[in-house]
Amino acid sequence: MASDPLYINARITIAGWELTEQFVLAGGPGGQNVNKVSTAVQLFYGILTSPALPERVRENAIKLAGRRVSKDGVLLIEASRFRSQERNREDARDRLRELILKAAEPPPPPRRKTKPTKGSIERRLKAKTGRSEVKKLRGRPQGD
């Protein structure tokens, strides 16, 4: 299954040779099966050297992955949610697909600066003078 290509979207496809899977013992529920069968999957993907990803997507994916990317630029995704090896393998591949799709999203539009309206400026200044009057009344009375 690791030799099958992973289709991300119409433009991005990760070749099977770029993905490496390793099966390890998983903890949690499963009874005796947990102690005997290596059902958890560790999916390795050389994200830094992959020819499948455009530069912008690669940089965004590395930021999104955070500590899951090693110093060598290898992304590690661990999947042990299910009891079967096959479902964990699919889960790991789906999580990699979601990460890259999120990294491939277009950046948000730049923020446009706006000025406060004339009415809001007047309301703010009126509120400030009102607070000022209240605070003046808290002082000592002046002797006449």
- What are the pLDDT digits (tens) for 84-122? 888 999 999 999 999 999 999 998 999 999 999 999 999
Q: Which domain holds residue 34?
A: 6-104
Closest CA to 22 of 47, 52, 2: 2
Amino acid at 47: I
Q: Is residue 72 part of a domain?
A: yes
pLDDT at residue 2 in the model? 53
Q: What is the CATH number of the domain that holds 42?
A: 3.30.160.20
Q: Is residue 73 part of a domain?
A: yes
pTM greater than 0.95 (yes/no) = no
Helix/strand number for the chain, H first, E second: 4, 5
Domain count, the chain: 1
Q: Is residue 80 part of a domain?
A: yes
Q: Is residue 68 part of a domain?
A: yes
pLDDT at residue 13 in the model? 83
- What are the pLDDT digits (tens) for 19-45? 888 888 877 666 676 677 788 899 999
Q: Is residue 130 part of a domain?
A: no
H or E element, residue 54: none
Q: Is residue 136 part of a domain?
A: no
Amino acid at 96: L
